[in-house]
Structure 1
Amino acid sequence: MPRLFTALEIPRNLALSLSLLRGGLPGARWIDVENYHITLRFIGDVDGRTADEIVDRLDRIDRPEFPLTLTGIGSFGSKKPHSVWAGVAPSVEIHALQAEIERMCQRIGLPPDPRKFTPHVTLARLKNCRLDDVVHYLSGRGNFQTAPFTVPRFVLMSSKESVGGGPYLTEEVFPLREVGFGSSSSIAELVPAKGFY
């Protein structure tokens, strides 16, 4: 059974901006551009019946679309960094959406997610990277920021077991309610010909 998680997609133009952060860090395994996303809730391996119930519940979420900005970069694992990420500017809406998904998961019997929700886009996984190299890499790129983009939907994705960093497959799409504010990125930019970002 595939591992499931809910996520926000990254528009193509912003994924290309993120891709410019690749390189310059020995020992980093860079995530493919088409696999960039913001994980909302890791669900894990579930049976078919639970997966169907998850889809049914997610389909009932009724929230408006919202703006989001990617800003800053950092790493997880203070003494022994294991990943490098791009951050997300503070957003009440993304936390509200994530909290609703978390409540829904617990209502159907999934254990609570033990990790504090820290929205980010993983750029690279690190193996045997020197702390000095990571600090040097981050110090030269700390002012990274994208233009705001509109989040028009969230998705249920799957990943193959034991393959960290993709490939990911979009299983279901859940539109958010349109509110009509302007945006530099549209839904058309989220859907390249070969699949989803």
Structure 2
Amino acid sequence: MPRLFTGLEIPEAVAAHLTTLRGGLSGARWIDPENYHVTLRFIGDVENGTAAEVHEALRRVRRGPFTLQLTGLDAFGGRKPHSIHASVQPSPALHALQAEHERLMQMIGLPPEGRRYSPHVMIARLRGVSAGSVAGYLEGRGGFMSMPFEVTQFVLFSARASTGGGPYVVEEEYPLEGG
């Protein structure tokens, strides 16, 4: 039973820039650069038949390439922070692609995603780190911005059941070539 999600891979140069943010925060478990990604739609643990339906649905996506940029760092969890991420600059093309994935997954019978879509690249998971320490870390790295990068495909990832952070395996690639 695979655990699946769709997403965008992060180019090597952008991943290398993200790795410069590592360190300086005790209690952080830094995500390996090869596992950096922007999630489009979490699918979850599904039977092989449903995985095949997911693949067939995703093959029907017809969208053109677009440009993304990472701008700024933030944390999830409020007073009990649990992760640090790089935010994705707002992109109508990204949101349209994500919305299409959501519609397709519901059409094959998967429940709707319960959370509002907030595109990001997770760079660290936190355990026992105070909100003050996280605020200090974020303040010291203010102004983070990646170079813009072209998104020419999305992928279907699989993950092993764990606490998150990878390793992730690309199961299928879907080119963005028609708009």
- Residue-by-residue CA offset, 1:109-166 (whole Å, 9 max, x unaligned): 1000001110000000000001111000000112000111100000000000124100
Does the aligned pair in 2 maintain the 1:3–1:45 contact within 8 Å?
yes
TM-score after normalising by structure 2? 0.98
Amino acid at match of 1:59: R
Matched, 1:134 2:134: yes
CA distance in 2, matches of 1:60, 1:178: 11
Counterpart of 2:25 in structure 1 is 25
CA distance in 2, matches of 1:98, 1:105: 11
Counterpart of 1:103 in structure 2 is 103
Does the aligned pair in 2 maintain the 1:152–1:178 contact within 8 Å?
no
Correspondence 1:21-170 to 2 at 5 A: 21-170=21-170
Q: State the aligned residue count.
A: 179
Deviating above 6 A after TM superposition, structure 1's stretches of 4 or more consecutive aligned residues are none
Distance 1:109 1:178, change over 3 A: closer
Does the aligned pair in 2 maintain the 1:82–1:126 contact within 8 Å?
yes
Counterpart of 1:192 in structure 2 is none
CA distance in 2, matches of 1:158, 1:13: 23
Amino acid at match of 1:37: H
Q: Which runs of 5+ in 1 are unaligned?
A: 180-197
Offset at 1:17? Answer: 0.1
Q: Considering only aligned residues, what root-mean-square deviation do their CA atoms show, in Å?
A: 1.0
CA distance in 2, matches of 1:50, 1:142: 43
Does the aligned pair in 1 maintain the 2:2–2:48 contact within 8 Å?
no
SS state of the match for residue 49, structure 2?
A: helix
Offset at 1:37? Answer: 0.4
SS state of the match for residue 116, structure 2?
A: coil
Percent same amino acid among aligned pairs? 56
CA distance in 2, matches of 1:69, 1:162: 29
SS state of the match for residue 145, structure 1?
A: coil
Q: Which runs of 5+ in 2 are unaligned?
A: none
Counterpart of 2:12 in structure 1 is 12
